[in-house]
Each structure stands twice: as C-alpha cells, then as structure tokens.
Structure 1
C-alpha cells in the first residue's frame, strides 16, 4: 500500500492506538479525530454522540477508519450508559459517513468498526457473514450501527464493516481484565464454560484492518475473529497453561449476573463466529491459535 493520508476515529482506543502505531511506522500520515480543539494539521474535531464532524478536515484523506464508541465492557449497563453506547456509535458513524459523502474528492475507502455481537446467541451453531442478526440490545445496536455507514456506500465509497471478536490484548478489552485475575491464580471458567468465545489477537486485528484498507476489491461485512472459536472452558485451560497458574475458581452464572447485570448475557452467551470472507480473501493469521494469541499479548 502506498503511503497515504488516513483519518482514524477512536485513535486512542485499544485497536485504534495499535492501528495508528502500525500505520505511522510504515510512513502513512494519520489524522486523528478528537473532541477538543485541534492542536495541529493531524487532528480533526468531532463530537460523535452529537453527530458532528468537521468535514473539511477530512479533505485529502485516502481512507477513513471509524473505531470509536463508548466501551461496552467498561461499566454496568444502566439505561443512560446504553444510550451512550448507542449514540457514540450510531450518531458518530452517521456523521462520519455523511462527511465522507459530502466531499468533492472522496476517500477511496471507509472502514467502519462493528462487532460480532450482531449475531447474538448462537449456541454451537457456526455463523459467518451470511448469517442473520440476533435479537437483543447488542445485535440490534450493531444492525443500526452498520446501517449508519450507508451514506458513504451510497456515495460510491468502498465501505467495509469489521465485525470484531474478543481482542486478546494485555492492556484493554476483555483480556485486559482477565490477565490480572489469571496471573493472581484467581482465574477460572465462567458459568458452565461451554459457551463459545470468538477471539482474535490484537496483532491480527490490526493486520486484518490493513488488509481490508489495501484491497480495493473488498467491501461489506467481514468477521475479524480467529479461524476456530473455542469454548470458555478451553480458553480458561489455555490461560492456565500459558501463565502457569491454576484455574480453580469458576465464576457461577448467578454471580456474573448480579455483578454485571444485563451485560452478563454476553459473557455467558455463546458466539461461534468464523471469518469466512476474510479467509476467502487470502488473509493469513499470524496467531490463529489461542495459546499463540495469549503469548503474543
């Protein structure tokens, strides 16, 4: 990929910061979307929850990547926080897509973050990009979130939707919370442990986004998950092996529900998601197995 000017929303988040490091290391010019007054030419102001963005600041960008949104696992889901989760994604995406569509010289690609939460509870059933959306807060949010990217697609901009799984990383996301527990010897399966977790190493997440940025023949939804989802019980055992710690303390489902509230459904739920279209496009995972992904983190 030639050196380009790439705008990134959510540049300070777990995935966004890793993507920015990767892009800048290869000589690309990254423009960050920020909530404060811009401090230089590499910043563009926006307010995702209010649906506002300085479209003029995106002029000259070859690509726009939207990874912004209030953290789903950051706190218990009150009605107010669910509204924040919704507005930060749907309003922010719509504003960015409309800004992209309004430009005289539009970017060649708009990559919009989404989540495997779109599929909801899948049990042991394997799902890919052709599978229908589930029901409930997260699936319905993801459907609306992806639809908000419509203005960019309708304006002729290649639009990619990245349905990301559980990112295996040391400093954020689900694994950012799991690592300290397992290192302390307090880790264990959650619920009955039979629910499938579809994970992806942070390195592979960034590599997949860059693969989708570079390939002008790819558009639409792509699952960003490792090729073979595993059960929570299998992942728990792998954590114990890699970190050399016992995994003797299962967390009963009622405890999870009392602590996490509605969000517990996504911890206890099963999502057996596979990256069919990503693999068909020729992408190669560097850390496809869970032990490799954990070690990489």
Structure 2
C-alpha cells in the first residue's frame, strides 16, 4: 500500500512509519523538516515538506494513495496552557487536518481511509463511569480541542473516504511520552501517585497503538470513533504501584494535587483528573491486544519481557463493554 503519514517524526508517527516501511509499504511523510525526518528514518520513507498551514506541492503525495494517517500536532504537555498556547494547540491540529481534507477533495482519486488522531480528553474529566465510543463529549479544554480536531477529519466522509477518529490514551514506551518523566522519582526512591490517586489512567502500549492503527487501515468495517486504549484502565494509585513494582522501588510519596496545579496551571488537570475509557470497538471486533494489562506492558518496557502474544478479551470486560 501507499500510505501518507503526517506527524511521522513524532513519538508515535516515527515508530509507525518505521514498521509500515519494514512491512513493505510505501510510506510518504509530510514533515516540516525533511532533514530531521531523514536523520531519523533514512531511506525507509519518502519525504514531502509542508508547513501544516498552506497548500503546496506536497499535495502530489496523495496521488495513488490508499491510506492517510494524520497525527500532526504540537505536544499537549510541553508548555503551560496560557490562552495563547491553547489557541495554538487547537489551530495547529485543526488547520493541519483541514488542510489534509481539502487536499483530498482536490484529487480525482482519493484514499480508502483517513485515520485521524484525537484523544480520550474528548470525554472530559470523569468519575468511575465506563466510557466507550458511544459516550457523550465532556467539558473542558481537551474536550473542546478533541471535538474541533475530529470535526475537521469527519468532513472527509463527504468525499467518500472512510474516517476513523482515533481517541488515544496515555501512550507508554521508554523513549517518549509521559513514562520517562515518571521514572526519575522512582529511581530516587521518592515515587508515588498524584493526589487524589483514584483518578483513572487510560493507557496503551505503543506497540498496541501501532497495531491498532494498522488494523483500522485494513479493517473496512471500522469507522467513526475508535478508543485507542488498553482494556485495563487503572487508577493513578494502581499505576504507580505497578510502576514501582516493575522498577523494584516503593510507591509511597503522594504528590499533592494542589501542588501540581500550582506548578502547571490548568495543564495540571492532565494528571489530577482522568477518564475510565474502554476500547469497546476494538474488543467487539476482535483486535488482539498484546499488552491488555498494565503489569505486562511495564514489564516489557522496563525489564524487556514481551507479552504472551495476542490476547483473548477478558469475558467480564467484554460484558461490561457491551
């Protein structure tokens, strides 16, 4: 297949592009820095420069393309959420997605599928409720951001393109995302949960996320929202307990929620609130998670033990999801 990827040099996109290329697919990356992309992925991929804002010659990459994976967007957690930063985060994602869909509309031949990134923040801050793809939109900045992002991707359906809106949870791997930032306190024996501790963490191992994207590309029955999380959401206290166990360290020093909010401002809600999200579409359609539970995922990342292979969904989880 010929697959175009935006955001292909990021934490998720680079690993996805590398795996797609290794499987023999022709992968074209739309990137703001072709030299940086080349240094990262070499001749595995083809590269087209774009700015995520303006039409240009990069649109020729959509000729004879079967799938587009849109992961472009500035990191949510790199800076405090000032009003200007929030506007940038929304515009950055919305404009890039709008640009992709507009470019597809100008082509005589269009891809079969558009996989477009979003986040579980769509559901807003939540309590113990199980949230599947049928759950309503929540409130707050992340919900606003996710809704605007998804709305632009949804426009591609009018072009006859199958659209999958990928609602991604906390992605775990050693070389990026939130996990490396969490390791240092545990290495220093001062690790522990962020208060209140009962907030839910919906996570996914990066290997399963990449597998889920590939599965969604080829599974023609999948469209609409797709929760990209593992079946086993855990509370923050449980997450830190299992992280400490995997590292051979205690999880005892609770971080006050007010201190997080004081340090990070509104962005602190990423850590002090959460959502109990379940991947109902993936489970009911038979996607084989390699790491369905957090302990096996952390063991693979930190100790190097791989999962036992494709999992059979837990019967109780499937019943709850249904």
The TM-score range, normalised by the shorter chain, is over 0.9
Q: Which runs of 5+ in 1 are unaligned?
A: none
Work out which of the residue numbers 204, 220, 227 in structure 2 matches 1:223: 227
Q: Verify: 1:248 aligned to 2:252, yes or no.
A: yes
Deviation at 1:51, TM superposition (A): 4.9
1:139-198 Cα offsets, whole Å, 9 max, x none, are 011111000013311100111110000011112111121123322322210012000100
User: Scaled by the length of structure 1, what TM-score is found?
Assistant: 0.94
Deviation at 1:228, TM superposition (A): 2.1
Work out which of the residue numbers 278, 286, 302 in structure 2 matches 1:274: 278
User: Scaled by the length of structure 2, what TM-score is found?
Assistant: 0.87
Deviation at 1:255, TM superposition (A): 0.7
Deviation at 1:113, TM superposition (A): 0.5
- Which residue pairs with 1:64 in the alignment? 68
Q: Verify: 1:79 aligned to 2:76, yes or no.
A: no
Work out which of the residue numbers 95, 99, 105 in structure 2 matches 1:101: 105
1:22-77 Cα offsets, whole Å, 9 max, x none, are 101111111000124798991222222x2545322221211110011110011211
Within 1, Cα distance between the matches of 2:76 and 2:18?
24
- Which residue pairs with 2:27 in the alignment? 30
Work out which of the residue numbers 7, 13, 32 in structure 1 matches 2:4: 7
Contact map agreement 1:101 1:151 (CA 8 A) in 2? no
Contact map agreement 2:233 2:278 (CA 8 A) in 1? yes
User: CA 1:152 to 1:296, structure 2 compared with 1: closer, same or farther past 3 Å?
Assistant: same
Contact map agreement 1:44 1:58 (CA 8 A) in 2? no
Stretches of 4+ moved more than 6 A in 1? 37-41
Within 2, Cα distance between the matches of 1:211 and 1:291?
24
- Which residue pairs with 1:131 in the alignment? 135
Within 2, Cα distance between the matches of 1:184 and 1:21?
34
- Which residue pairs with 1:205 in the alignment? 209
- Which residue pairs with 1:185 in the alignment? 189
Q: Which runs of 5+ in 2 are unaligned?
A: 302-322
Within 2, Cα distance between the matches of 1:79 and 1:284?
41
3-state secondary structure, aligned to 2:167: strand
Deviation at 1:241, TM superposition (A): 0.5
Please give the root-mean-square deviation of Cα atoms over the aligned residues, in Å: 1.6
- Which residue pairs with 2:51 in the alignment? 47
3-state secondary structure, aligned to 1:279: helix
Contact map agreement 1:98 1:151 (CA 8 A) in 2? no
Contact map agreement 2:55 2:103 (CA 8 A) in 1? no
More RCO (CA 8 Å, sep 6+): 1
Within 2, Cα distance between the matches of 1:172 and 1:37?
21
Count of residue pairs brought into register by the alignment? 293
